[in-house]
Amino acid sequence: MVTYLKQSLDTVLAFGGNGLLLLYFLVAVVFLLVTEKDRGIRKLMAEYPMVILLIFFIPLFPYLVCNVFHEGETFYRFLWLIPMSAVSTYATIVFMEKIKFKWLKFVIGAVALICIAIGGNPGYQSPVMIPATNAYQIPEQVIELCDAMNVPGREVEAVFPHELVPYVRQYTPYIKMPYGYETLVARWGFTDDLEYEMLNDVSNAENLTGLARERGCHYIVLNKNHYVDKSLTDYGFEVFFETEGYIVYVDSSNIPKC
């Protein structure tokens, strides 16, 4: 019981950033519980969020989510049901409306803005967030690679490194992959021999090219920092295209044409 209670607490603290916005939200909820006269608004903005938090901290809940439904990786998403931003904003506006002096309203508003500004963390501090450089909001190299492999009027098959797999389908439906996002989530239990070979610390060139050819892959995309025991050119593939971080090989016996 203590373990699951701690799991809920740790999840809330991680979700709440440095804690200031979480504290702001809790104060806003208490304020609305005490002062809000409209029953519907009070339920939506105060009672409903409190019920969600109470359920989240019942030890049986994380036990069911993690052990029975095996959704431990997405346990934190339950907190998305809580409208933190809406509650905090609404409570701030209601509080400011109760103040008669304009100068004091200005001070309260400024303090609220400062709390919001310093209470959050810049998104780009996350290792998985990078500034968008194109309209698709995907890594620029994915676009370069896909454009290079594109053959007008037909589909082609290419195997990509793990870090690029989630983005290819966002950009084009004409480049098929032998495995996709389903292999990136361990709990889904999908296995793929070609994926394993791509993931090896040192890939076996013969196995890699053989498996790719069996799966009908025209191209193999490798990270330039990934080690392969021999050159793919020894097994019927040739260098087709290069970017700063990746190199594309094409099966010389199966070069896609229009």
pLDDT tens for each residue of 27-43: 999 999 999 989 999 99
Model confidence over 120-154: pLDDT tens digits? Answer: 777 777 666 777 788 888 889 999 999 999 998 89
User: Is residue 59 domain-shared with residue 92, that is, in the same domain?
Assistant: yes
Per-residue pLDDT, 187: 59
Regarding whether 91 and 36 lie in a shared domain, the answer is: yes
Q: How many CB atoms lie within 10 A of CB 155?
A: 13
Which of 8-12, 34-38, 54-58, 218-222 comes out lowest in average pLDDT?
A: 8-12
- In this prediction, residue 66 carries a pLDDT of 79
Is 88 in the same domain as 158?
no
Q: Which domain holds residue 144?
A: 140-251
Q: Retrieve residue 120's tokens.
A: 């959050």
Locate 256 and state its tokens: 């896609």
Residues 11, 120: one domain? yes
58 and 110 together in one domain? yes
Q: C-alpha angle 104/107/111, rounded to 5°?
A: 140
Contacts of 237 (CB under 8 A, 6+ apart): 209, 220, 249, 250, 251, 252
